Amino acid sequence: MKRTSMTRDEQVLWAVEYLAANLSKEEVENAECSITVQAFADFFAAQWPRTFNRMHFAAQVRQAAQAPVPQGIGDTKKKDRSVQLFDRLFTLPRR
């Protein structure tokens, strides 16, 4: 059976990547003051009140936004399943 839920680390990683990719540069630079970042942080803090650090989360968003972004479908680190299938269909067989 396929698991449909995400672990805590997967949830935080997804949120960090989402916010880093979709927020304006100004919002990312002031992540601690961003209403959007704080809404995500409040949600996670409600789930994990004793162990979630809002300031660390904002710093993670800022750090992810400053990281270089891989371009195109050639990113071998994390390929979408449809991209993997497409690559397999249109790759010449090895000799």
pLDDT bracket for residue 12 (50, 70, 90): very high
Based on the number of CB atoms within 10 Å of its own CB, is 28 exposed (0-12), middle (13-18) or buried (19 or more)? buried
Closest listed residue to residue 12, CA positions, set 53, 50, 71, 69 = 53
Can you give the pLDDT at residue 60? Answer: 95
**pTM greater than 0.75:** no
Structure tokens at 81: 């399943």
For 36-88, write each residue's pLDDT tens digit.
Answer: 999 999 999 999 999 999 999 999 999 999 887 666 555 555 656 666 666 65
- For residue 2, pLDDT beyond 60: yes
